[in-house]
Amino acid sequence: MSAGSLAGRNVLISGAGRGLGEAIAAHLASLGAVVAVCDINEEAAAEVAARIISAGGEAVAYGGDLGAREVFHETMAAFARAYGPVDTLINNASYLVYEPIERVTEETLDRMIASGLKSVFWGVQAFLAHRDPEASKGWIINYSSPVAYRGRPNTGAYTAIKGAVAALTNVLAGELGPRGIRVNAIAPGSVPTPATAGFVSAEDYERRAAGIPLRRNGRPEDVARAVAFLIGEDADFINGAMLAIDGGIIAAG
């Protein structure tokens, strides 16, 4: 395997039907990984997989709500049956709502917790059940956020979930490390994508960029390359890390 190559790797990515998940899927496939593009929107997942295949990569699409334990286990099992044991899991799925704390409803909170936190538990369980028991290595990436470290108004539910994901990543790094499984998390900062266009305007992104030490917003490829690094051989001794991909937002406050 050449440096940077992911040939022979079977990677399942949740929430990959658009946005950062789509960018990660496309990039990892370009490095030789077989990618399972999973999304609650089955049509979107299928479109992403088709684009990857047309670009010369290998991908398969699965639709379903991975916040449901049974669905995640069934999806992982289907991928393993088709391509063999799964060695890499990217827990990217989330459902995002920004609103003042007094407006948070039970329905919204339940949906956000299922998508952004429960799916991490179910994904790890399914991954452990469908990896090669003889494998000496495995890779899990969880998706946290700078808001877990820098409180922002109107992000109460999202911040609580991303803080929980960060804490869970620490636990899993210690719990699964003895099995050769490296568990890390990413904290992407302000990254415009079609998925965020509905609740962050272009003007808002301009204001955000002005406050970022590098004076620009992130790009999907910034996040995709960072994920590829964390699951690659160059990061072989990195376990339990939170990689900020934010231009310095967390560091500078």
One digit per residue, the tens of pLDDT, for the chain of length 253 reads: 444 799 999 999 999 999 999 999 999 999 999 999 999 999 999 999 999 999 999 999 999 999 999 999 999 999 999 999 999 999 999 998 989 999 999 999 999 999 999 999 999 999 999 999 999 999 999 999 999 988 888 989 999 999 999 999 999 999 999 999 999 999 999 888 877 777 788 888 899 889 999 999 999 999 999 999 999 999 999 999 999 999 999 998 7
Degrees to nearest 5, angle at CA 167 with 37 and 125:
45
In angstroms, the CA 219 to CA 245 distance is 10
129 torsion bin: left (phi>0), alpha (psi -120 to 50), beta (else) = alpha
Domain ranges of the chain: 10-247
CA atoms of 212 and 110, how far apart (whole Å)? 32
Catalytic residue positions, numbered: 158
Domain 10-247 has what CATH class?
A: alpha beta
- The whole-model pTM stands at 0.95
The CA distance from 230 to 187, in Å, is: 13
Q: How far apart are CA 17 and CA 237, in angstroms?
A: 31
Rounded CA separation 34/88 (Å) = 10
